[in-house]
Amino acid sequence: MYTLTMLGVLLSVIHAIAAHLQEQPGALQHMLLSVLVLGYVVTPIILLINTLLERVLIKAPGSFWRDAYLLSIARDLHLIRSARGVLAYILWFAAICAAALLAQRLSEYVAPWVGHLAVAVTLGAGVARCVPCPADFATTLEHLERRWGDSPRGAHSRSDARSHDSEDGPDAMPAPVSARRAGLTFAQIAGMAETKSRVRDAVQRVLQGAHQTGTSAVDAPRNGILLHGEPGNGKTIFAEAVAGEFGIPLISVTYADVSSRWIGAEAEALTACFRQAMDSAPCVLFIDEVDSFLVDRASFSGSNTESLRVTNLLLTQCVEVRRHGVVLMAATNFLDRLDAASIREGRFDFKIEVPPPDLDARIGLFTQALHQAAPRVRVDPDLLARLLARWDGFSVKRVQAVAEELGATWGPLGAHELAVSDVLAALRTVQGQGAQPSASAAFESLGLDTDSRTAIEGLCRIMRDPMTYEGLGAALPTGLLLSSSNAASASAIVSRLAPTSGWVVERVNSAELLGSAERLTKAWRQARDRRPAMVFIDSADVLLDPTPMAQAPHFVPALVAILDETRARYKDVMVVLGVSPGHELPAELVAPGRMTEFIRVQAQSQCPFNHLDQVLSAWSIRLEGSRDDLLALIGRDATQADLERLVQVAVNAHVAHEGRRVDVLTVDDLKRAAQRVAW
């Protein structure tokens, strides 16, 4: 660029001298105008072209053409990368213009030679402005190396090379990662105001502390920001936004970047990453999935020396990097698995939990993802806000995945306004369920009395469309207690309730909870992630024993904590307990807001033959023979579910023997089948 500018200046001088020799008026003014146009109008255009070319050539690290390019525009980059440089450029241009006007006035009103002298001085200043200064050139190279981690070929002096070799060795491993510009800032992250404020304050304190001059350990600046939380909450996005917010480069390291099958190579690669960060300071060094590096040393075996070496090295580097203006950040999903020495103050001074996105963040994520996937598909904003308010706890990726699924389904169909059922269908697809709620209730075959059936069907209607019924004043129960003399009845009700309402069931056997409540917590977390969902614990009587000799004293406190958190945050999660009639619940569970609904399940009082006729009618089978002997066999307490099993066994035996469809069963067939059915 400067070669072209100087060539233009030279041609302008030659033209001006030739014009002056021919005694053309205003020749010097024409010469000055030419210099100004070439140096201060064409130059910004070339700077813009240089910036665009830089974005292309920056993708080829280490190439000869990229190095030559950086050398040619080094001074331009130094000028345009700061507001002060741009302001100085504008002020210098204004000064040259003012000097040109003054020179013209002097030549008109004072004396021609005074005007010519002023024009010559102005011309000299303009030419000097266009000539790259060696000091600026060297400063720019140092700026590029330090800030972006790019070393143009030949930029180091021999003394620099000797000092570098003495410090890291002539064959030091190059860093497997490089500094890059961040692609977003905090302004592009919707919601999460509290988390953004905590992260911003921590980074500001790190950058301010990097200028401290104390040498003792007590005076060491604070550093180390450990982001922890559940997977998919955007910890990596926050690290990227920090670099963009503060305008500093980002160096991101994962275990895959440094892993190697060679002994010692991982530690050497990690050292190179820290060296790259210190050379690029101020910058953000982000270690993703840091639990891959900082495994608890108490769990190391004698053969795992490489992992021990990496852990010790990282702990040392976390302290070493503090005085170099590097913002050390790390992310983990498993804070409890990290080495105890790594999470103490002095290595990671700021431990910040990144929670699931709040309501504002969920709305922003969903709206942006849906607009990108299907610009012509929309959801009513008020309806969307009410729906997303129920998704507290869903991760960033879950919210985005639902919007993308809607875009893939409805985008090809053109403009469309989605209903709640469309969004819930996409949610089930993302969760891996896919099945839609059954259109008709299937509680008739359970043989329930009128009150039990009415209560369960009413609950099912609320579960199918909770937003509508909550608008009318109804509410989903946090905990549901099903009391039945037959344990199978509660299980059968839940099995019918789930597909009819469109909910998922996480089943927990009471025997799994005798030793620990961990299985209950795991099932609740799975239900929370697969909402709307139920956690069903059958035969929970033994778990609710309030006596000092209880077999599971830990169960009730764990259940109380789950019920309280469910009521506070998660609207579409329900805990269902199946117990025997007359069982007394602990006082903690009957407190307001916990086990909020109780249904006493009773069988319909009718002759068992009525149940049998219903079953046979559903199978389109006719029964032959006297029923009196059959009544003595099955008893009057047989439920419709018992008779369904009886008929199924009889049909299986008949089909296996005859090899054809069953149209008629005899009482003897049912008697033989009854011997194979557990009553």
188-225 residue pLDDT tens: 999 999 999 999 999 999 888 776 655 554 556 788 99
8 A C-beta contact, residue 71 and residue 152: yes
Task: Tell me which residue has tokens 């799994």.
Answer: 512
**111 class by beta-carbon count within 10 Å (0-12 exposed, 13-18 middle, 19+ buried):** exposed
pLDDT at residue 82 above 70?
A: no
226-to-192, 258, 294, 329 alpha-carbon distances in Å: 17, 20, 12, 6
Task: Tell me which residue has tokens 């090899």.
Answer: 659
Q: Give the best-scoring range by mean pLDDT among 48-52, 213-217, 428-432.
A: 428-432
Q: What is the pTM of this model?
A: 0.64
Cα separation, 526 vs 505, whole angstroms: 10
Which H or E run includes 576?
strand 573-579
586-to-172, 307, 482, 512, 594 alpha-carbon distances in Å: 67, 49, 16, 20, 12
Residue 149: closest CA among 56, 257, 276, 282: 276
Position 3 confidence tier, pLDDT thresholds 50, 70, 90 = very low
SS3 (DSSP) at 161: helix
Which H or E run includes 382?
helix 381-388
pLDDT at residue 139 above 70?
A: no
pLDDT at residue 662 above 50?
A: yes
Q: Which residue has the higher pLDDT, 436 or 373?
A: 373
Partner residues linked to 227 by β-bridges: 331, 352
Residue 148: closest CA among 283, 54, 339, 313: 283
Instruction: Please write down the HEC assignment for all residues of 504-541.
Output: EEEEEEHHHHCCCCHHHHHHHHHHHHCCCEEEEEECHH
Burial profile 574-607: b = 16 or more Cβ within 10 angstroms, e = fewer: bbbbbbeeeeebbeebeeeebbbbbbebbbeeee
* pLDDT score, position 302: 57
SS3 (DSSP) at 396: helix
pLDDT at residue 169 above 70?
A: no
* pLDDT score, position 161: 34
Task: Tell me which residue has tokens 């039990």.
Answer: 452
Q: Which long-range contacts (CB under 8 A, 24 or more apart) does 511-519 make?
A: 513/537, 513/543, 513/552, 513/555, 514/542, 514/543, 514/551, 514/552, 516/554, 517/552, 517/554, 517/555, 517/557, 517/558, 517/559
Cis omega (within 30 of 0) on the bond before 532?
A: yes
* pLDDT score, position 523: 93
Partner residues linked to 600 by β-bridges: 483
Phi, psi of 250 (to 5 degrees): -120, 130
Residue 138: closest CA among 161, 124, 154, 149: 154
Position 13 confidence tier, pLDDT thresholds 50, 70, 90 = low
In Å, the largest CA–CA distance within the chain is 139
Give 672's Cβ-side CA count (13 Å radius). Answer: 10
User: What is the CA angle 195-200-201, rounded to 5?
Assistant: 100
SS3 (DSSP) at 247: coil
Position 104 confidence tier, pLDDT thresholds 50, 70, 90 = low
Cα separation, 627 vs 537, whole angstroms: 38
Phi, psi of 583 (to 5 degrees): -80, 130
* pLDDT score, position 200: 94
8 A C-beta contact, residue 148 and residue 243: no
How many other CB atoms sit within 10 Å of the CB of residue 108?
10
pLDDT at residue 92 above 50?
A: yes
pLDDT at residue 328 above 90?
A: yes
8 A C-beta contact, residue 271 and residue 169: no
Q: Which residue has the higher pLDDT, 82 or 257?
A: 257
Residue 78: both structure tokens together: 């130094």
pLDDT at residue 487 above 70?
A: no
Lowest mean pLDDT among 213-222, 308-317, 376-385: 213-222
8 A C-beta contact, residue 533 and residue 573: yes
SS3 (DSSP) at 499: helix
pLDDT at residue 241 above 50?
A: yes
H-helix segments, 540-627: 555-569, 608-619
* pLDDT tens digits, 264-309: 788 889 999 999 999 888 899 999 999 888 877 776 655 567 778 8
Percentage of the chain exceeding pLDDT 90: 26
pLDDT at residue 677 above 60?
A: yes
**253 class by beta-carbon count within 10 Å (0-12 exposed, 13-18 middle, 19+ buried):** buried
Q: Which residue has the higher pLDDT, 675 or 195?
A: 195
Q: What is the mean pLDDT of residues 431-441?
A: 60
The type of residue at 574 is M
Phi, psi of 354 (to 5 degrees): -100, 100
* pLDDT tens digits, 566-619: 998 898 999 999 988 877 788 888 888 889 899 888 766 555 566 677 777 777
> What is the separation, in whole angstroms, between the first and last Cα of the chain?
94
* pLDDT score, position 60: 40
Q: Which residue has the higher pLDDT, 152 or 204?
A: 204
* pLDDT score, position 343: 81
Which H or E run includes 36?
helix 27-37
Phi, psi of 439 (to 5 degrees): -75, -30
Position 655 confidence tier, pLDDT thresholds 50, 70, 90 = confident
DSSP state of 39: I
The type of residue at 389 is A
Phi, psi of 586 (to 5 degrees): -60, 150
8 A C-beta contact, residue 601 and residue 489: yes
8 A C-beta contact, residue 601 and residue 448: yes
Which H or E run includes 665?
strand 664-666
Cα-Cα-Cα-Cα dihedral of 149, 152, 153, 157, to 10°?
Answer: -80
Cα separation, 385 vs 416, whole angstroms: 18
Percentage of the chain exceeding pLDDT 70: 65
How many other CB atoms sit within 10 Å of the CB of residue 517?
22
Cis omega (within 30 of 0) on the bond before 282?
A: yes
Cα separation, 512 vs 552, whole angstroms: 10
User: What integer best gives the mean pLDDT of the chain?
Assistant: 76
Position 100 confidence tier, pLDDT thresholds 50, 70, 90 = low
549-to-218, 545, 546, 552, 553 alpha-carbon distances in Å: 54, 8, 8, 9, 8
Cα separation, 92 vs 95, whole angstroms: 5
